[in-house]
Amino acid sequence: MKSVGLLTAAFCIVALFSLLFPALQGALSIGLFFSLVGTIFDLINAMSWEFTGHIDNLTQDSEMMKDLTTFLALGRITGSIKKAKGPFAFENLELKNVTFKYPNATSSVLNGISFKIEAGKHYSFVGQNGSGKTTIIKLLTGLYGDYGGEILLNNVSLHDYPQDVINSAFSNVFQDFARYSSSVRENIRIGDIHTIDTKNDRELIDILKDINFSFQSMDKGLDTQLGKLQENGIDLPGGQWQKIAIARDIVNSASVRLLMNQLRH
Ligand SMILES: Nc1ncnc2c1ncn2[C@@H]1O[C@H](COP(=O)(O)OP(=O)(O)OP(=O)(O)O)[C@@H](O)[C@H]1O
Ligand SMILES: [Mg+2]
């Protein structure tokens, strides 16, 4: 912005001086001189604002590109898209004296957590905001590898599993689940990209009925566009969006389902 300011000032001075001499020599009337100088100043001013705007956009875009390139460079993306061989036969999961600290944090979030969960049962983690429930879920789904203690999946350390095998064992609905600006059908089918083309509409509708999803205001059924990107897209109330996310979770054949919710009093 500083360089654009200097450049603008330089243009104005050049314009002023090149018109000043004809004006002094009488080739330009004083009135014409002032109106010309005024118009040229306005023009240069408008152009410099536009130019600054472009530079501003360019800077913002390049910052976004930095994030995107870092994200793409993580490499795990290809790992997680790879399909594990067959469904994962979950038996149990055990945390033994697990400790975890976020990088740059001063204190640990988890201090010596131990518990065991077994196939065929329901469990719930209940705790105050910030007590570490989501962190536990992220640890046991292999998103954070740098923990103390042991996490055993079917009695084998989580460190010994490739990420695609861990991914095939768990499916999850996070508190901040994704809301895709796309059709209801696509929003659900993306829950399992490996069977994305084989699930039929009947199956999807049955899942939605099972979880009491309300089809009100959905005159196009599964083709209804959600989100605000499309002109005919509708935005759902939070609870309805959450049901879409749950349906997305149900189409996934993973053996362990992790559902995260925020209780409001
Ligand atoms: N990426 C992160 N970097 C640093 N600290 C984090 C990060 N994510 C969470 N924390 C901190 O770790 C603690 C536990 O967070 P976590 O999200 O696991 O809690 P929670 O029990 O799921 O809370 P809530 O009920 O609000 O969902 C909090 O103090 C939080 O501020
Ligand atoms: Mg949480």
Mean pLDDT in residue range 130-134: 91
CA gyration radius, the chain: 30
pLDDT at residue 138 in the model: 92
Dihedral sign, Cα of residue 254, residue 167, residue 201, residue 240:
positive
Say how far apart CA 37 and CA 35 lie, in whole Å.
6
pLDDT at residue 79 in the model: 45
134 pocket-lining for ligand 1 (C-beta < 6 Å) = yes
pLDDT at residue 78 in the model: 47
Closest ligand 1 atom to the C-alpha of 131? 21
Distance 149 CA to ligand 1 centre (A): 19
Average pLDDT over all residues of the chain: 86
Mean pLDDT in residue range 217-232: 84
Distance 133 CA to ligand 2 centre (A): 5
- C-alpha pair distances (Å), 132 with each of 102, 124, 141: 11, 13, 14
Q: Quick one: three-class SS letters along the chain?
A: CHHHHHHHHHHHHHHHHHHHHHHHCCCCCHHHHHHHHHHHHHHHHHHHHHHHHHHHHHHHHHHHHHHHHHHHHCCHHHHHHCCCCCCCCCCEEEEEEEEECCCCCCCCCEEEEEEEEECCCCCCCCCCCCCCHHHHHHHHCCCCCCCEEEEEECCEEHHHCCHHHHHHHEEEECCCCCCCCCEHHHHHHCCCCCCCCCCCHHHHHHHHHHCCCCCCCCCCHHHCEECCCCCCCECCCHHHHHHHHHHHHHCCCCCEEEECCCCCC
103 pocket-lining for ligand 1 (C-beta < 6 Å) = no
231 pLDDT above the threshold of 70: yes
Total Cβ atoms within 10 A of residue 16? 15
Phi, psi (degrees; rounded to nearest 5) at 131? -80, -10
130 pocket-lining for ligand 1 (C-beta < 6 Å) = yes
Q: Are 142 and 168 in contact (CB under 8 A)?
A: no
Say how far apart CA 225 and CA 237 lie, in whole Å.
14
Residue in the structure block whose two tokens are 């010596």:
112
Model pTM? 0.67
Mean pLDDT in residue range 72-94: 70
Mean pLDDT in residue range 21-49: 89
Q: Are 217 and 225 in contact (CB under 8 A)?
A: no
Identify the nearest ligand to the CA of 143 by its number.
1
| Structure tokens that stand for 254 in this block | 């993973």
Residue in the structure block whose two tokens are 């001189």:
33
pLDDT at residue 76 in the model: 55
Mean pLDDT in residue range 46-75: 86
Residue in the structure block whose two tokens are 């957590």:
113
131 pocket-lining for ligand 1 (C-beta < 6 Å) = yes
